[in-house]
Amino acid sequence: MRILLTTLNSKYVHSNLALKYLYTCAEKSRNYIDIMEFTINNAQDYIYTEILRKGYDVVCFSCYIWNIDKTLYLAENLKKAKPDIKILMGGPEVSYDVIPFMSRHKFIDFIISGEGEAPFSDLAETLLSGSREFEKIPGLTYRLEGKIYVNPPAPPLKFESVPFPYLSLVCEEDKIMYYESSRGCPFQCAFCLSSIDRRIRALSLERVRSDLGYFIYKRVKQVKFIDRTFNWDKKRCYEIIKYLITSDNGVTNFHFEICGELIDEELLRLLGTARPGLFQFEIGVQSTNESALRACGRKSDFAKLAENVKRLVEMGNIHIHLDLIAGLPYEDYDSFRKSFNDVYALKPHYLQLGFLKLLKGTAIREQAEEHGYVYREQAPYEIISNRYMSALDLVRLKKIEHVLELYHNRGGFRRALEYAAELAETPFDFYEELGDYYYLKGFQHKSNSKEDMYRIFFLYAGWKERFIPNIKEKFRELLMMDMKDALNPEAVKKFERKGWEIL
């Protein structure tokens, strides 16, 4: 019997840590297990052929909001092609409402809900032995002789017992290495699945140093921690950061999700000694509307967060990524405008404008009726409207999100953006106007080159000159300076030969 662990990642550079955990923990069955990872951009026929031609008896899918639809289509066709194949699914997208889900999708034989390491190991051993004693496996839902059975949930896993998976598997040099030093989250954000488990189970510092030392030795490009709040324990966070600074190999970058309010003076002083590029911090602000945050179960001290972020940005050695979420309870369009301006003023290197998703299993999904949420029934369950924002309001924000990504987040327009924001009443108003212009002229209908993005900005400046005289040439000067910083000299010369018109 051969067992396949597989998934469809959202991008090639991503990898799936869950599969690596399952493989590593199934020690007794490992010789019968393979791992194959694909992406949602691979052709369905390619994935189907790669799996089917190798004759697997059991195919196990790791399921998320970005891959569930394509995974179901693939699994159904594998079952049609080989009726005796067993289909197992796990992951957050299939861990809830398991009976209705399996009733709708009759090609699924097993679902593992919650942490899968122990249940998968037990199931692999059971299948390899030829036994059908599935009732002994906690966390497993299974189909047997046309009936669906749901076993009691698996007890919380002792996280320290899970081996470091990269010792058993090759580090993929061209991919992000995902790492987890703790499970659970102390916070109760209503829109996040991590809020379900408030128990923090952390690896010992000795184990973390050993694991990270392996990445440093291998000189991997990036390690991305998937801990939901890395600095929940200030002392522990300090010791890990200190270890990474003293062990820096000059190559590896470490990405963390942190709580901005929990950063203290001692950590700031330590971070000031880090090599530029060693760390990236992602901080979920989500909103500066206190009513919205309270409704989501978030405690916030924006003044403290803002002070810490400003100091991190001023240091100049750490890439700062801030998040906003549109569509939270009690936040209307004008309130979101304020949240945007509050966060933009902190000058993050990357400002992500996301849209609320009503994920299965989250408290916010249970509150959908209370707040009048209308949302997409298929993954990723993004909201369409609520009591506070209309569908049109959210579409307006979609346009802002698009131009924010193209101009601010991709970089190369710093001077022009600063000047444009000064001309508007607020930065939000500038991006709103730029978005309106971009869509009015139809530039959203195709993928534009970096060079053409400068030309489009210049066209916007020409249109803007009708209201503010003599700014077109100022924008030309600033855009040219930005371009020389962002593009190589040959690209700049080519641009100058072609000129500012879009052909």
Q: What is the pLDDT of residues 255-265, one digit of tens each?
A: 999 999 999 99
Mean pLDDT, residues 346-357: 98
Would you say residue 187 has pLDDT above 90? no
pLDDT, position 264? 96
Distance CA 205, CA 210 (A): 8
Q: What is the pTM for the complete model shown? A: 0.93
Sequence ranges of the chain with CATH classification 3.80.30.20: 170-389
Q: What is the pLDDT of residues 397-442, one digit of tens each?
A: 999 999 999 999 999 999 999 999 999 999 999 999 999 999 999 9
How high is the pLDDT of residue 496?
Answer: 94
Model confidence at 300, pLDDT cuts 50, 70, 90, reads confident
Mean pLDDT rounded to a whole number for the chain: 95
What's the pLDDT at 197?
67
Query: Considering the domain 170-389, what is its CATH architecture?
Result: Alpha-Beta Horseshoe (3.80)
**pLDDT at 392 (0 to 100):** 98
Amino acid at 139: G
**pLDDT tens digit string along 211-249?**
999 999 999 999 999 999 999 999 999 999 999 999 999
pLDDT in tens, 44-53: 999 999 999 9
Beta pairing class for 177-179 and 383-385: unpaired
CA distances, 222 to each of 253, 278, 340 (Å): 5, 9, 29
Query: Could you tell me the pLDDT band of residue 21, with boundaries at 50, 70 and 90?
Result: very high
In the chain, CATH 3.40.50.280 sits at 3-150
Helix (H, G, I), strand (E, B) or coil at 272: coil
d(CA 66, CA 379): 7
Decide: 47 and 17 in contact? Cβ < 8 Å: no
Q: Once rounded to an integer, what is the mean pLDDT over residues 144-171?
A: 92
Residues in the chain: 503
The domain 3-150 having CATH identifier 3.10.310.30: the answer here is no
Spatial CB neighbours of 395, under 8 Å, sequence gap ≥ 6: none
User: Mean pLDDT over residues 313-318, rounded?
Assistant: 97
